[in-house]
Structure 1
Amino acid sequence: MKKAKTKMKSLYILALCTMVILSACADIGASYQPIVDGAPSASFQADLQACQSLARGQHQLDQDTMGSAAAGGLLGAAIADHDESGTAVEGLVGGALIGLVGGVSKSKDKREAIVVDCMKGRSHRVVG
């Protein structure tokens, strides 16, 4: 019984650490500094701030991210239950955390693309 409590405590600590890391990365992708071909125009900084603000509006914990967490959790639970190396709950939590981190990574890419597309839309010669 004591061993089960220790495992659950470890899972809670792992989940808490992941949430702290994710919250620390809340601005990731939205602060992207695009590469410009040539000298930036006079309006570049103001436009960049507006485009970065627009990218911040793209939530990291969107449906895609939550779907990744759910799929990772189900897969982790199934593997742990089948493999008998851990409990289904441990697999569920571990898989969900891996899926969540993967979803946040995709969200970062989306935010960077929003900044690039927005800057191009404002006639800046952004190449990446």
Structure 2
Amino acid sequence: MDEIFPVIVILEDDAGLRRAIERLLKLSGFSARAFGSAEEPDLLACATLAACLVLDVQLPGNSGPAFYLSVPPPRPPVVFITAFDGPATRNRLASVGPHVLINKPFLGKDLLAAVNAALRRQP
């Protein structure tokens, strides 16, 4: 019988970091789909069905928080990642609802802990 792994959707514009996150999640027992832009055609459909999202806050075009709010409710839990943490970022994220925020650069174990914390919050 085939095992079903929770699908984590990654939205990160830096190709190297995107691949590293995807590889880390897969090695940790998750199924992962990675996207480089909020405008990619399959992203919204994948995000709607995902167990958790890992979204970069600062993206060219549609930002991670704006994309998250475009996902129809009930939205999956989310981990936001950013290299620009500060009051402006935290105020921006306050309106999106429950989330986990981690700062770049981060350790793999910290990302996994954040994803697991977000998954525990799932309704």
Aligning the two structures, in what range does the TM-score lie when normalised by the shorter sequence? under 0.3
Higher radius of gyration, 1 or 2? 1
TM-score w.r.t. the length of structure 1 is 0.26
Higher strand share: 2
Higher helix share: 1
